[in-house]
Chain A
Amino acid sequence: MVVFDKPHALLDVPLHYCPGCTHGIIHRLVAEAIDELGIEGKTIGIAPVGCSVMAYDYFACDMIEAAHGRAPAVATGVKRADPEGHIVFTYQGDGDLASIGMAETVHAAARNENITVIFINNAIYGMTGGQMAPTSLPGQVTQTSPYGRDPKLCGYPIKVCEMLSELDGPEYLERVTVNNAKNVRTAKKAIKKAFQNQIDGKGFSLIEVLSSCPTNWGMTPSAALKWIDEKMIPYYPLGVYKDRSAEKEEAK
């Protein structure tokens, strides 16, 4: 009996990501959710600009390439084109979602746009060679913060889940990570719930996944997963930041 295999919604092609990059794990979790919910035929994914720009080559569902940061706006178009017939997800890095795309992100959340947003937060710009991201930590050395991120010069990181939770719009916001098996299982549940919410018409769901970038952090893949525990989780605590349906239930 097969206990574990590649999900159908993930195409049988090699991934271009660096060895140990958590993109691969998260792609698989998204594909597993699509498989288990039986929605591959109506799902349209929006790929970002960043390392995962080529996500359109990896998922079996229809895929659209969006301009840097504009995925939530493109997703809005796709969803409005056929609200019942299209299940749409965006898959975005920290530059895409929290830098150039910050306005699109906030407004899609505020509109409670009925879409699923998968936010890959690895505190760095991978594709372009390791520049600072809006989520880079104070003191973090990157190509554009060569002396360590100095809050006096370029401020503090943006905590997306916390920030969006202040809005009345969004349905569901959760921060997860994939740096060990237990966390991977929690992340999978969150991602599946984010899709289920869309199917149920409940509105905007965003799952922030703390991820690693071994290459640009300058570490081995295993050390990078530990760095998430030691440095990222204290700054970006895991957990559910908004669950409107659960709040409504409790209020009853």
Chain B
Amino acid sequence: MAKLTFKTDNCKGCGLCVEACPKHILRLAEEKINKKGHHPAELTDEAACVGCATCALMCPDCIIKVER
């Protein structure tokens, strides 16, 4: 089981994590807007996450913390 923590307010909605995730379980939340005015990234299926950290590897803003 893996745990992801997102610094949601620092997310710029660039989408690189969404593109990179091998399980396709990340999305940009179109219905939300963070303090910077972006649609922040979030996990769609917590159970499916294996903590590979590919998302965190591609995040230019270091907003994802990965724990296993």
Contacts and interface: CB of A to CB of B under 8 A. Distances in A.
Interface residues of B, number: 25
A56 B26 CA distance: 32
A166 to B, nearest CB: 34
A21 B60 contact: yes
B16 A221 contact: yes
Given A3-B67, A4-B57, A15-B61, A180 B15 contact: no
B44 to A, nearest CB: 18
Interface string B51-62: 101101111111
Given A19-B12, A221-B16, A222-B16, A4 B60 contact: no
Contact of A20 (B12, B65, B66): B12
Contacts, number: 69
A175 interface: no
Given A2-B65, A3-B51, A184 B58 contact: yes
Interface of A: 1-6, 10, 14-15, 17-25, 28, 180-181, 184-185, 214, 220-222, 225
Nearest to A188: B57
Contacts of B12: 18-20
28 contacts: A2-B65, A4-B57, A4-B64, A4-B66, A5-B65, A5-B66, A6-B62, A6-B65, A14-B61, A15-B60, A19-B13, A19-B38, A20-B14, A20-B16, A21-B60, A22-B60, A24-B60, A25-B59, A28-B60, A28-B62, A180-B20, A180-B58, A181-B20, A181-B54, A181-B57, A181-B58, A185-B57, A222-B15
Contacts of A21: 60
Interface of B: 2, 10, 12-16, 19-20, 38, 51, 53-54, 56-62, 64-68
